[in-house]
Amino acid sequence: MIARTLVAAALALVPLTAQAQDTALPTNTAADWSVATSEHRIAVEGGKVWVRVNGVIGQGQAPVIIIHGGPGGTHVNFGNLLSLADQRPVILYDQLDSGMSDRPENPANWRTERFVAELEAIRKALGVDRWHVIGHSWGSALALEYAAAYPQHTVSAVLSGTFISAPHWITGTNLLIRDLPDDVAATIRACEGPTPPAPEVCEPATAAFYAAYNGRPDRPAPSPAAIAYRKRYGGKGFNATVYNAMWGPTEFRASGSLGTYDATHLLARVDGTRILFVVGQYDEARIDDVQDFVALTPGAELAVVPGGSHAFIAERAEVAEAIYRDWMNRKDASETGK
């Protein structure tokens, strides 16, 4: 579920609200990875999270917040979606214990409801009334949970690279293992068994799974801007401790606190006409499974990114952007009655 500093020295921190601080930054061009309109450290349960905004809240169409995967991932894979800021504010953030945010590493914070409350704290601190929430992988679960809990603040929710059920995910990844070459599949099964082979045997087989379903060999190389952004804004990066505690050691086995997580019941509680599922053609979130989720969400839509894996936002950036842009524009239009 893994979706795997500026001119700040010259700028002073000024209060945004009682729970946040704001750093004003120069206005940027929408496609620039490196420059935000503003940066914030927002108080949430357990610490403060780092948030960046491209655009001005209250100007343009409804804002969108991008919710990264993991658990324990960061926002850095989504910088290319800043191009959406030509129409609306784009909000990126790192969840508590990852990236640029505080890293208390307190297991008491590693609860789904706290991560959902984190989103709501960001909304309040930024003064957003209604926004679009785009969640990727583990972020899909948070987007769905948020849309169900706060429909009055949700224009739409996008469940991208969809993870909303651990049992479905584990079944799906094990079916995908079956489709790998026989020797690779046998090695993965052995590595997931009670007496696994040595890491030098297991790691290449796991890498083969990722090459098929989460970062395909034909993916474009990162742009110089993306590489520079990662160096500047990667913070402390991915937090494997959170990932292992909440999920487990691999994508194929959920031994952590999310092992029994299943939010499919929430699909009946949300307005399906405001839910979009998006997956890559070769996604580890299997199309067959996601179609079942769509069937449980009357009025929902499904988009498939041709040639994309679970990392389709980076692999097929223009297609992903076009899907998100069209969807949000249509939902904005329906909200205003146009």
The CATH number covering residue 67 comes to 3.40.50.1820
Query: What number is the average pLDDT over the span 169-178?
Result: 96
Helix (H, G, I), strand (E, B) or coil at 136: strand
**Does 196 reside within a domain?**
no
Q: Please, which pLDDT band fits residue 31 given cuts at 50, 70 and 90? A: low
Q: Which residues lie below 8 Å from residue 81, measured CB to CB, with a gap of 6+?
A: 66, 90, 134, 313, 320, 321, 324
**Does 67 reside within a domain?**
yes
**Does 177 reside within a domain?**
no
> Across the beta sheet with 301-305, what order do the strands follow?
14-17, 20-24, 38-44, 47-54, 90-93, 64-67, 131-136, 154-160, 275-280, 301-305
- Whole-number pLDDT of residue 8: 23
Percent of the chain with pLDDT over 70: 89
Where in the sequence numbering do the catalytic residues fall?
Answer: 137, 283, 310
**Does 205 reside within a domain?**
no
Query: What number is the average pLDDT over the span 40-60?
Result: 97
Which amino acid makes up residue 127? G
Look over the chain and give the mean of its residue pLDDT values, rounded to a whole number.
90
- Whole-number pLDDT of residue 1: 67
pLDDT of residue 337 exceeding 70: no
CA angle, 189 then 192 then 197, to 5°:
85
- Conformational region of residue 111, where left means phi above 0, alpha means psi within -120 to 50, and beta covers everything else: beta
Query: What number is the average pLDDT over the span 9-13?
Result: 23
Helix (H, G, I), strand (E, B) or coil at 25: coil
- Does residue 303 or residue 224 have the better pLDDT? 303
Q: Please, which pLDDT band fits residue 12 given cuts at 50, 70 and 90? A: very low
Query: What number is the average pLDDT over the span 220-232?
Result: 90
- Does residue 14 or residue 119 have the better pLDDT? 119
Return the closest-CA partner of residue 64 out of 42, 46, 34, 86. 86
- Whole-number pLDDT of residue 334: 86
- Whole-number pLDDT of residue 21: 40
Tokens of 336: 């205003």
Query: What number is the average pLDDT over the span 226-244?
Result: 94
- Whole-number pLDDT of residue 253: 86
Q: Please, which pLDDT band fits residue 252 given cuts at 50, 70 and 90? A: confident
Q: Please, which pLDDT band fits residue 32 given cuts at 50, 70 and 90? A: low
Helix (H, G, I), strand (E, B) or coil at 306: coil
- Whole-number pLDDT of residue 183: 97
pLDDT of residue 13 exceeding 60: no
Return the closest-CA partner of residue 122 out of 87, 61, 75. 75
Q: Please, which pLDDT band fits residue 23 given cuts at 50, 70 and 90? A: very low
pLDDT of residue 191 exceeding 80: yes
Quick one: how far is CA 23 from the chain centroid? 24
**Does 216 reside within a domain?**
no
Query: What number is the average pLDDT over the span 319-331?
Result: 97
- Whole-number pLDDT of residue 34: 67
Say how many domains are in the chain.
1
Regarding beta strands 131-136 and 90-93, do their DSSP bridges make them parallel or antiparallel, or are they unpaired? unpaired
- Whole-number pLDDT of residue 35: 87
- Whole-number pLDDT of residue 209: 97
Query: What number is the average pLDDT over the span 154-182?
Result: 97
**Does 126 reside within a domain?**
yes
> Containing domain of residue 112, as a range?
8-165+221-336
- Tens of pLDDT along 54-112? 999 999 999 999 999 999 999 999 999 999 999 999 999 999 999 999 999 999 999 99
pLDDT of residue 151 exceeding 70: yes
**Does 200 reside within a domain?**
no
pLDDT of residue 28 exceeding 80: no
**Does 293 reside within a domain?**
yes
Helix (H, G, I), strand (E, B) or coil at 311: coil
DSSP secondary structure letters along 79-133: GGGGGGGGTS-EEEE--TTSTTS-----GGG--HHHHHHHHHHHHHHHT-SSEEE
Q: How far apart are CA 71 and CA 69, in angstroms?
A: 6
